[in-house]
Chains A and B, each alone.
Chain A
Amino acid sequence: MHFRKLVCTAAAATLMASGVAYAETLTIATVNNGDMIRMQGLTDDFTAKTGHKVEWVTLEENVLRQRVTTDITTKGGAFDIMTIGMYETPIWGKNGWLVPLDDLSADYNVGDILPAMAGGLSHDGTLYAAPFYGESSMIMYRTDLMAKAGLEMPAAPSWSFIAKAAREMTDRDNDINGICLRGKAGWGEGGAFITAMSNSFGARWFDENWNAQFDTREWSDTLNFYLNMMNDAGPAGFATNGFNENLSLFQQGKCGMWIDATVAASFVTNPKDSTVADKVGFALAPDNGMGVRSNWLWAWALAIPAGTQKEAAAKQFIEWATSNGYIELVASKEGWANVPPGARTSLYENANYKDIPFAKMTLESILSADPNNSTVDPSPYVGIQFAAIPEFAGIATEVSQEFSAAYAGQQSVEEALAKAQALTNDAMEAAGYR
């Protein structure tokens, strides 16, 4: 009798234990954007396939960054999967804070991830985060206004052409601005744009010895070019405009050109929200004839913090969310224009996706961005619109605040650059780089 009881208890305990191990509840921290929200709506498919449930913590990008950084540096264990970008992944991977994604299943086909994305999300050749979607930046322009100005947009224009076209397209009486660009303070807002732009002017953040380079002619040329063009052809108050403000202006038909994230293409061509949906053309971000274009590279990717108790289930989720199967699931429910772009090579070979008007230019923009060779002169850092060092976010936020003050006319370009030079060198010295 005792023996039977023992056997039954052991069997029940085993069943319960295996049940608990199988049906996990994953807590995932993510950002609030269209693709991520769509994924949240489709997680029933993952639960149906694996039995694992998912709880979402959705936060604004900067809040999320602070929240997950606090958690991962203290090994808090609040999240089983984190949505992070190309900036954090190599730094956190190097520190051993992320689980290496080097044992994903053969069906997943890691080799299909776009090389630029895989490279930016790896450290020492090991992938630490799987790209959910990737983006570069490109020119979105009004074909009707360009034709009215008697100009034709080249597939790969120069900055001088863009400045000329912007001035030609500007029509202040009808509230049309030739060009809309980010000017808002913040390393991921105006800071990202001006850094990518400066690369094409031959500027860089640091020389090989980590000395700040804001006292160079290249930086002065970049800021003066930007400011003159925006004063002549930009919208009023451009110093406080970020992605959302420019998106709103473009959708209302108030911008001739907008250079920003490739994911914006689906927003400006969506007739539900955009009044100019059928009049939008695309081109590569401009260059200055120096061999480097002004487009950036970014990915929102899924990573597993080291120390999670649910590593196996978390890997299952990452394989599901970043797979070709997920792309097909989205396409079947919401159409090919709404699939997460910029992560997998096969998407751009898909006949259905080739019909999407911005697909080709998005891929070309992503392929033309190289985080390992982002500057004309050699630099000691990886990254295009950022330098992948932990100190960068803080420094770049302060630098972009100085730049925005110059855009707003509160100080001169020279004053802004002098302050940027001093604060960057101070911070790098304090951090032990110099």
Chain B
Amino acid sequence: MARATTIRQKTITTIIAWTVAMVIFFPILWIVVLSFKSEGDAISTPMRVLTSAWTFDSYAVVQDRSDYFKHFFNSVIVAVGSTLLGILVAVPAAWSMAFVPSQRTRGILMWMLSTKMLPAVGVLYPIYLLFIELGLLDSRTGLVIVLMLINLPIIVWMLYTYFREIPAEILEAARMDGAGMRAELLYVLTPMAIPGIASTMLLNIILAWNEAFWTLNLTAAKAAPLTAFIASYSSPEGLFYAKLSAASVMAIAPILVMGWFSQKQLVRGLTFGAVK
């Protein structure tokens, strides 16, 4: 009886999980389908969309009109650059919070996280003026710095959660053996925390890759990443659904593939410390 209940529960859970997964995945699937249709077919009824001819025309037009590889290269530089810089800043910060906490550590962590709740547009003008002064407008360097700063709270939080799982005694032992702070961080803590650092980096790369507010507002022609590439095919006056879909598929494909191969690490990183 108990076994029958378990199978029924499992079946229901599986069906619900698949349904939720399909609902989440459907928009991506539909974008892929539309990207292989003509503009005329892309706006027709769903049945006609599925039964009409398939074509690579939209991909050809997008490739011809826009420099995909320039945007792709900018996305890679910005996503990877901001992540590496973020890790460099966040590892010492998370170490101090995890192993040398003060009375205000919790408060500081909460404050850092609260900055993520501030609407980005609220600081657009100050940041824009700073970029003009520093000559960073439409530069990859500027984007790397900004994306590092906006994702820093998440990186610190994730690393902090991960570091807290590492026994402090190991670091104490290293100190007793004469390790300085640099050696402790580089040769003791970091190797033990590599899985956590890796999953944090993966998540941050995805966040930086998909970031659209700052990448659109702080770039023009030179440093524009793939978010700007997609935005150039959106229009309220004219039908560009097939081309927009093709551009979207080209923009999300690299990160989708990366996410697919690293999903285990991602899930582990996101759920670490969640169950105690």
CB B220 to nearest CB in A, in angstroms, measures 4
B65 touches A251 (CB 8 A): no
- Stretch in B86-94, B103-111, B152-160, B232-240 with 4+ CB within 8 Å of A: B232-240
Asked, given contacts A63-B216, A74-B129, A248-B43, whether A56 binds B221 with beta carbons under 8 Å apart, the answer is: yes
CB A183 to nearest CB in B, in angstroms, measures 14
* Complex Cα spacing A296 to B238, Å: 18
User: Counting CB contacts under 8 A, is A79 at the interface?
Assistant: yes
Task: Give the contacting residue for B125; candidates A70, A79, A244, A263; CB below 8 A.
Answer: A70
A27 touches B124 (CB 8 A): no
Residue of A nearest to B230 (CB): A60
CB A297 to nearest CB in B, in angstroms, measures 15
Residue of A nearest to B44 (CB): A252
CB B37 to nearest CB in A, in angstroms, measures 12
* Complex Cα spacing A319 to B129, Å: 32
- List A contacts of B43 (CB < 8 A): 244, 248, 251-252
Task: Give the contacting residue for A40; candidates B65, B221, B233, B237; CB below 8 A.
Answer: B65
Task: Give the contacting residue for A244; candidates B65, B132, B221, B237; CB below 8 A.
Answer: B237
User: Counting CB contacts under 8 A, is A146 at the interface?
Assistant: no
Asked, given contacts A60-B231, A70-B124, A76-B132, whether A242 binds B137 with beta carbons under 8 Å apart, the answer is: no
* Complex Cα spacing A76 to B134, Å: 11
- Which residues of chain A in 41-77 are interfacial with respect to chain B, using CB atoms and an 8 Å cutoff? 41, 55-63, 66-67, 70-71, 74-77
A32 touches B238 (CB 8 A): yes
- List A contacts of B221 (CB < 8 A): 27, 55-57
Write the A301-327 contact mask toward B (1 if CB under 8 angstroms, else 0).
Answer: 000000000000000000000000000
User: Counting CB contacts under 8 A, is B128 at the interface?
Assistant: yes
User: Counting CB contacts under 8 A, is B39 at the interface?
Assistant: yes
B237 touches A261 (CB 8 A): yes
* Complex Cα spacing A67 to B36, Å: 31
Residue of B nearest to A264 (CB): B237
- List A contacts of B228 (CB < 8 A): 57, 59
Task: Give the contacting residue for B220; candidates A29, A34, A37; CB below 8 A.
Answer: A29
- Which residues of chain B in 80-139 are interfacial with respect to chain A, using CB atoms and an 8 Å cutoff? 124-125, 128-129, 131-132, 137-138
User: Counting CB contacts under 8 A, is B217 at the interface?
Assistant: yes
- List A contacts of B224 (CB < 8 A): 57
B137 touches A78 (CB 8 A): yes
B232 touches A58 (CB 8 A): yes
B217 touches A273 (CB 8 A): no
Task: Give the contacting residue for A189; candidates B131, B137, B220, B236; CB below 8 A.
Answer: B236
- List B contacts of A115 (CB < 8 A): none
Task: Give the contacting residue for A272; candidates B40, B138, B217, B240; CB below 8 A.
Answer: B40
Task: Give the contacting residue for B237; candidates A76, A243, A248; CB below 8 A.
Answer: A243
Task: Give the contacting residue for A273; candidates B40, B231, B233, B234; CB below 8 A.
Answer: B40
* Complex Cα spacing A70 to B128, Å: 8
- List B contacts of A58 (CB < 8 A): 231-232
CB A387 to nearest CB in B, in angstroms, measures 21
* Complex Cα spacing A247 to B220, Å: 31
A59 touches B216 (CB 8 A): yes
CB A362 to nearest CB in B, in angstroms, measures 15
- List A contacts of B235 (CB < 8 A): 31-33, 60-61, 244
CB A138 to nearest CB in B, in angstroms, measures 15
- List A contacts of B138 (CB < 8 A): 78
Residue of B nearest to A189 (CB): B236
User: Counting CB contacts under 8 A, is A188 at the interface?
Assistant: yes
* Complex Cα spacing A399 to B132, Å: 35
- List B contacts of A32 (CB < 8 A): 232-235, 238, 240
Known interface pairs A57-B221, A59-B216, A60-B235; 19 further A-B residue pairs with C-beta atoms within 8 A, sorted by A's residue number: A27-B220, A31-B235, A37-B65, A41-B65, A59-B228, A59-B232, A60-B234, A60-B236, A67-B217, A70-B125, A76-B137, A77-B132, A78-B220, A243-B236, A243-B237, A244-B43, A244-B238, A247-B239, A273-B39
Binding site for A on B (CB under 8 A): 39-40, 43-44, 65, 124-125, 128-129, 131-132, 137-138, 216-217, 220-222, 224, 228, 231-240
Return 18 A-B CB contacts under 8 Å, by A number: A55-B221, A55-B222, A57-B224, A58-B231, A58-B232, A59-B231, A66-B217, A70-B124, A71-B128, A74-B132, A75-B132, A76-B137, A244-B43, A248-B44, A251-B43, A252-B43, A261-B237, A273-B239
6 interchain residue pairs of minimum CB distance = A55-B221, A58-B232, A60-B234, A248-B43, A32-B235, A78-B220
